[in-house]
Structure 1
Amino acid sequence: MPNLSDATRHRILYGGDYNPEQWPEETWHEDVRLMRAAGVNSVTLGVFSWGKLEPRPGVHDFGWLDRLMDLMHAGGIGVVLATPTASPPPWLGHLHPDTLPRDEDGRTEWWGGRQHFSHSSATYRRHAAAITEALAARYAGHPALTMWHINNEYCTYDHGDEAATRFRRWLQDRYGTLDALNTAWCTAFWSQGYGDWAEVLPARRTHYLKNPTQALDFRRFTSDMLLECYVAERDIVRRHTPHLPVTTNFMPLWSGQDAWRWAEEEDVVSVDLYPDPRDPFGAQEGALVQDMTRSQARGPWLLMEQAAGPVNWRGVNHPKPRGLNRLWSLQAVARGADAVCYFQWRQSRQGAEKFHSGMVSHAGAEGRTYQEVKQLGADLAKLGPHAADSTVTADVAVLHDWHSWWAGAQDGRLSTRFDYTDVLRAWHRALWGAHLTTDFAHPEHDLTPYKAVVVPQLYALTDAAIDNLLAYARGGGTLVCGFLTGVADEDDRVRPGGMDARLRELFGIRTLHEWWPLETDETAACDGFRGTLWSEEIEPDGTATETVRYKGGELDGLPAVLRKGRAWYLSTLPEPDALRELLARIAADAGARPVLDGLPARVEAVRRGDLLFLLHHGRDPVTVDVPGTHRDLLTDATVTDRVTLGRYGVAVLAEPAS
């Protein structure tokens, strides 16, 4: 099966979405000149070009794309060719209203934006396959073509009638009988029992709370329908170009896709990443997404989109300060990216995203953005032969599962104060702050390679996942679980005792009496720290070897943290410093060590292959102790024992050639 290395060939791909149909053709030659000057070696073409490629049903206009493909090849720039199916032309919705999605209130989502397609529409799928077939047949042998990009940011929900028909079929495949569905959905509650498949609907608007398992299955169904759309187009281009890799771009921590399952269907895993430059934790957000994407890819991955400057969809859209674009791009390389790309090459002058930045901004080639883009291109050219195709290893795994997220995010839960992704970020931030490199893993994955496994929160766990956690812990692994874990099964059915009995035994819990969610700004005093968001009334069974207790209030004297052997349970979320210190101590006891000891504040260290990346997320110069002699690949300077990093500075250290 083709992979990213087939396209990179020991280099880092650099470029981004190129939308030349927005510009006069005379601009194209100037674009190629500027691309070459900036070190761009890859562009993505055609993402939103369906209307230009097929202006009327069955009528194709490929001449402009022919000229572009030839122009890119002549300029030494490879093309990632996109299927344009994320944004159907107006004629498709006008002639075939069944291709348009409907929201949970039954309202149609019309053309005029993008992603206006029903994943369940047979008509949409037929037309999407036809334009994909035409593209693949025409350009399969073109020397500029290096990779396929299917659709764009799959994120469509549909509650319409055709989706309802497919949902029933999906449920029949999952459950077999209505009796099994009624049991799984607990339809005895509120008189919801189904006697005919025709009565079953998508999770449309209800007067009060929806059936939680119905809503959970609708999320699963939506992810599967979108995946069917992707696979159908992927298989078409694979048939024409079996030697070329195929990808589609994930959005970071997007709730609508089970990305573990999707990644198995991709030759290359790619992601779009847009941390807020004003967010003090923007670098950690980037690290989290990069670690997750690398783990889904099980190796090098592709940064499909980022912003060279401001975006256009936040309430206030700030530019990136000087040097931050370079720093965050090299952070992605440090954490396994073999491609650094942007949306988009040239900033649009009109349209909904005219204030979203481009590699060439409205200021043009003399602007700061393009000048920084040129510097980054030179850096990536230096790193490519040394970094591309190499791996990042981690001693610690963070467990994450979309199905558990979906189940725990339902209405009618105990607290709306906390969000699953906020808890996930808090735990990853603690490990990142302790300078521990982490992978992500599904709870049913093989966990034996890791010295420590942490579970920030997995509300719903299958029996297979629980057995996997037990086997890991009983096999000598260090397991750390956060609150509200193991509460429900895959049907969102609360397990007897409020937590799976096997997990209670593992952690030394006799009874979980009550959950005590905390109010906004409320904390729970504990021995040595304060807990946030949550607390639990736990009665231990006397087998725990270490206990941190609550102090004061209703839970005074009861355990906040339990340790039994190498298994830990946290019934609250410690404040950030306390969580970092606790996880760092647990990881150290398990044999997991930071990449480098004694790092200054705001300096990140990551080892990729034989290279040591040092990334400074501050503005004031710092000195980092690095024992031995190394060569900085970015400056070609020899450094001995220490290196100084300036504002947003980066050093990439290799052992000097003997």
Structure 2
Amino acid sequence: MSIKFPPISSKAPVMLHGADYNPEQWFRYPEVLQEDLRLMKLAGCNVMSVGIFSWVSLEPEEGVFTFGWLDQLLDSFALNGIYAFLATPSGARPAWMSERYPEVLRVERNRVRNLHGVRHNHCYTSPVYREKTAILNGKLAERYAHHPAVIGWHISNEFGGDCHCDLCQAEFRGWLKNKYNDSLDELNHAWWATFWSHTYTSWEQVESPAPHGENQVHGLNLDWRRFVSERTINFCQHEIDSVRSFNPELPVTTNMHNIDGIDYRKLAEILDVISWDAYPEWGYTDDGDNARLAAWTAMHHDLFRTLKQKPFLLMESTPSLTNWQSVSKLKRPGMHMLSSIQAVAHGSDSVQYFQWRKSRGSSEKFHGAVVDHSGHQETRVFKDVAEVGKTLAGLSEVVGTSTPVQTAIIYDWDNRWAIKDAQGIRNSGLHYEETVLQHYRALWEQGIAVDMIGIEDDLSAYKLVIAPMLYLISEENGKRIEKYVEQGGTFLATYWSGVVGETDLCHLGGFPGPLRRTLGIWAEETEGLHSRDLNGLVMKDGNALKLTGDYDAHEIAELIHLEGAEALAHYRSDFYAGRPALTMNRLGEGRAYHLATRVKDTSFYVELYSEITRKAGIRRTLDTSLPTGVTVQLRTDGEHDYLFVQNFSDMEQVVELDDKDYSVLRTGTKAPHVLNLPVNGLVMLKRKH
């Protein structure tokens, strides 16, 4: 049985390799384009993203359009076997528009309208801005939607930010009226507006959160984030509508990067292809733990793959360093190949960069690029990129393959927003993302594939569902999880779960609210611990998981009572020493675990999930023990499996394969039973599915 998706474009059924290209920066240097074409082919690049910030070069004054340079560029691409993602240039508008139509300028939280400048400094509600983007986008689509070099639409660039102008305030009120059935009583109750006498008596009193106004009503804060997300998605849809009709077969994507601001699960619904921009700080981490950073990056690759449950695009990465991180470290030898193939291993059908050629001036003149200011191919970075291009050219059979997954982590935007707004317990840092990573990394270390799903997604597809800090959950979704466990699923939740409902009001009747019956516990109190405080989790003798050990715990501790669950571990110290710290509840055909404290030791999570996944019947990619910092990811077409063994441990490692027959992917030669992985090393394997 084939488990394979069609390529992003039938024109290019290969791994895509390329970069953001800004030829308009080089109009005064006509020799650069010809040299760039030569270098692109030398580096094994077959796709470029063009036009991203080209508005003023396409429309230098209102109603005057200059497409000649883009005609020449795309025609040259077609003649040289290079494809293009053609961008709509709405990410940065020309100065003439700001001067003539001030309403397009964004208003900040302090209610001050911005001056012209930077990027994404515009109002998504502005009728003028929407009209101007539709006009230019339509002309681009009319001219290029069937161009042989164009393989997809790159809608704008890294959408993000919010606007607080009068136009957006009016849209927000309309959005709230629709959400709360035109009832101020419903809104006041949902936001608990009687707090501090903040009850609204007219719709005109409702405003977005402001630093010098209302910012303590959590329901308002949460709804504003939802509104901004939906308004941004609405604008993206507006842009898609302005180009789609000219060639409905041309796929659309937008490069995602601002994790905090937009519910990407909802944005994914209007896109054909998911793409994202990854900029991990390879070579520099505060804790010196490169494997942790690799797991963090892998988790986000999996998040974007899961959005549409099919291959995605790595639209931007850096071939060397960035210009905006606190310390700009160079990639060490082997790291560019390893990090590029990591994206492929987790489901990407491309490796693309920002940028192709370094800018000569302005803020990104020192951001990494394939072509340095030296302008030639005799650089370490160019050679690294060319080597990746050569490798990707040999991976065409992997294009479109899927990722079989039996384990999921719930990672929801509403929950994330609400946790970040919560006041109490530990205002110095609840560390939601770090908590998610602790659980993800333990699976990643064992080569167990993970989907990063939303609370509304189908749970029945998974043998194990993990919900770290599921603070916000509705009664309905609590029932869905309960049913999932009753029907044989395995579920794990942690401290600070089941606290509030969908409008950020606390559940009444005891935490963890709608998860209480599923987990078989009552969480009476939750304590935040100072950074200097330390407790511990001690496994009980003869526990159901047959685990042993005493592990340090910190930051958060929940005091729970058993209501049907059994204790697998208890606290080590303080007045709650001996009370349950890890529990298991049998419910119907399934099991639900609850971890009441944040354990420091990575080894604890590895051991915990090793046993939980074994009991749940979850397969590892390789049936072997992996050294710390080494992981294995799998893609399959249903006939063959493609395995990517990657070493992020900062030291040489040895991996012993299981007893299946493996070949080296690119050569077809028989793989040795023992793999020797150098620092930043990887091996790509193939086996029968």
2:547 is aligned to none
2:158 is aligned to 153
2:663 is aligned to 631
Query: Is the alpha carbon distance of 1:210 and 1:3 closer, same or farther for their aligned partners in structure 2, counting shifts above 3 Å?
Result: farther
Matched, 1:567 2:592: yes
User: Unmatched 5+ residue regions in structure 2?
Assistant: 539-549
Matched, 1:112 2:80: no
2:517 is aligned to 505
Query: Is the alpha carbon distance of 1:557 and 1:132 closer, same or farther for their aligned partners in structure 2, counting shifts above 3 Å?
Result: same
Which residue, 647, 660, 665 being the options, matches 1:616?
647
1:532 is aligned to 554
SS in 2 for 1:126: helix
* Identity in percent: 34
User: How far off its partner does 1:136 sit?
Assistant: 0.7
CA contact (8 A) 2:530 2:555 kept: yes
Matched, 1:514 2:525: yes
CA contact (8 A) 1:444 1:465 kept: yes
1:231 is aligned to 237
1:13 is aligned to 16
1:33 is aligned to 38
1:653 is aligned to 685
1:304 and 1:157 map into 2 onto residues whose CA distance is 24
Query: Is the alpha carbon distance of 1:413 and 1:250 closer, same or farther for their aligned partners in structure 2, counting shifts above 3 Å?
Result: farther
Matched, 1:331 2:331: no
1:173 is aligned to 178
2:352 is aligned to 341
User: How far off its partner does 1:642 sit?
Assistant: 2.5
Matched, 1:592 2:624: no
1:109 and 1:381 map into 2 onto residues whose CA distance is 46
1:418 is aligned to 430
Matched, 1:602 2:620: no
2:476 and 2:245 map into 1 onto residues whose CA distance is 36
1:473 is aligned to 485
Matched, 1:558 2:579: yes
What are the Cα deviations for residues 254-291 of structure 1, in whole angstroms up to 9, with x where unaligned?
11111111111110011110111123222112210111
Higher mean displacement: 13-22 or 576-585: 576-585
Matched, 1:245 2:248: no
User: How far off its partner does 1:489 sit?
Assistant: 0.3
CA contact (8 A) 1:629 1:641 kept: no
2:6 and 2:48 map into 1 onto residues whose CA distance is 18
User: How far off its partner does 1:348 sit?
Assistant: 1.3
2:510 and 2:528 map into 1 onto residues whose CA distance is 15
2:687 and 2:452 map into 1 onto residues whose CA distance is 29
Matched, 1:93 2:105: no
Query: Is the alpha carbon distance of 1:50 and 1:87 closer, same or farther for their aligned partners in structure 2, counting shifts above 3 Å?
Result: same
User: How far off its partner does 1:28 sit?
Assistant: 0.6
1:132 and 1:560 map into 2 onto residues whose CA distance is 57
CA contact (8 A) 1:628 1:640 kept: no
CA contact (8 A) 1:444 1:464 kept: no
1:501 and 1:623 map into 2 onto residues whose CA distance is 47
- Matched AA of 1:614: V
SS in 1 for 2:671: strand
1:387 is aligned to 398
User: How far off its partner does 1:518 sit?
Assistant: 1.1
2:519 and 2:688 map into 1 onto residues whose CA distance is 48
User: How far off its partner does 1:8 sit?
Assistant: 6.6
Higher mean displacement: 422-431 or 216-225: 422-431
1:207 and 1:381 map into 2 onto residues whose CA distance is 56
Query: Is the alpha carbon distance of 1:249 and 1:413 closer, same or farther for their aligned partners in structure 2, counting shifts above 3 Å?
Result: farther
Aligned counterparts, 1:140-289, within 5 A: 140-176=145-181, 177-206=183-212, 209-251=215-257, 254-277=259-282, 278-279=284-285, 280=290, 281-289=292-300
What are the Cα deviations for residues 500-549 of structure 1, in whole angstroms up to 9, with x where unaligned?
4442122221x3221111111322222121222211121212x2234311
Please report the TM-score for the alignment, with normalisation by the length of structure 2.
Answer: 0.92
- Matched AA of 2:233: L
Which residue, 472, 491, 503 being the options, matches 1:491?
503
2:546 is aligned to none
SS in 1 for 2:394: helix
SS in 1 for 2:675: strand
Which residue, 331, 341, 344 being the options, matches 1:320?
331
2:542 is aligned to none
- Matched AA of 1:611: Y
- Matched AA of 2:34: H
2:669 and 2:359 map into 1 onto residues whose CA distance is 40
2:666 and 2:241 map into 1 onto residues whose CA distance is 41
CA contact (8 A) 1:573 1:579 kept: no
1:274 and 1:605 map into 2 onto residues whose CA distance is 21
SS in 2 for 1:530: strand
CA contact (8 A) 2:560 2:580 kept: yes
User: Unmatched 5+ residue regions in structure 1?
Assistant: none
User: How far off its partner does 1:643 sit?
Assistant: 2.6
User: How far off its partner does 1:621 sit?
Assistant: 3.5
Query: Is the alpha carbon distance of 1:47 and 1:586 closer, same or farther for their aligned partners in structure 2, counting shifts above 3 Å?
Result: same
For the aligned residue pairs, the C-alpha RMSD in angstroms reads 1.8
SS in 1 for 2:680: coil
2:648 and 2:553 map into 1 onto residues whose CA distance is 28
1:544 and 1:91 map into 2 onto residues whose CA distance is 66
SS in 1 for 2:662: strand
1:428 and 1:301 map into 2 onto residues whose CA distance is 20
What are the Cα deviations for residues 328-364 of structure 1, in whole angstroms up to 9, with x where unaligned?
1101111110111111111112111111101112343
Q: How many residues align?
A: 652
SS in 2 for 1:503: helix
1:513 and 1:624 map into 2 onto residues whose CA distance is 46
CA contact (8 A) 1:466 1:503 kept: yes
What are the Cα deviations for residues 413-446 of structure 1, in whole angstroms up to 9, with x where unaligned?
3312222212112221222123221111111211
SS in 1 for 2:350: strand
SS in 2 for 1:240: coil
2:544 is aligned to none
Query: Is the alpha carbon distance of 1:3 and 1:487 closer, same or farther for their aligned partners in structure 2, counting shifts above 3 Å?
Result: farther
Please report the TM-score for the alignment, with normalisation by the length of structure 1.
Answer: 0.96
- Matched AA of 2:357: R
Which residue, 379, 389, 401 being the options, matches 2:412?
401
CA contact (8 A) 1:40 1:77 kept: yes
User: How far off its partner does 1:619 sit?
Assistant: 4.8
- Matched AA of 2:229: S
SS in 1 for 2:654: strand
1:56 is aligned to 61
1:392 and 1:75 map into 2 onto residues whose CA distance is 33
- Matched AA of 1:141: H
2:115 and 2:667 map into 1 onto residues whose CA distance is 52
- Matched AA of 1:585: E
User: How far off its partner does 1:557 sit?
Assistant: 2.0
- Matched AA of 1:26: E
SS in 2 for 1:80: strand
1:642 is aligned to 674
CA contact (8 A) 1:614 1:651 kept: yes
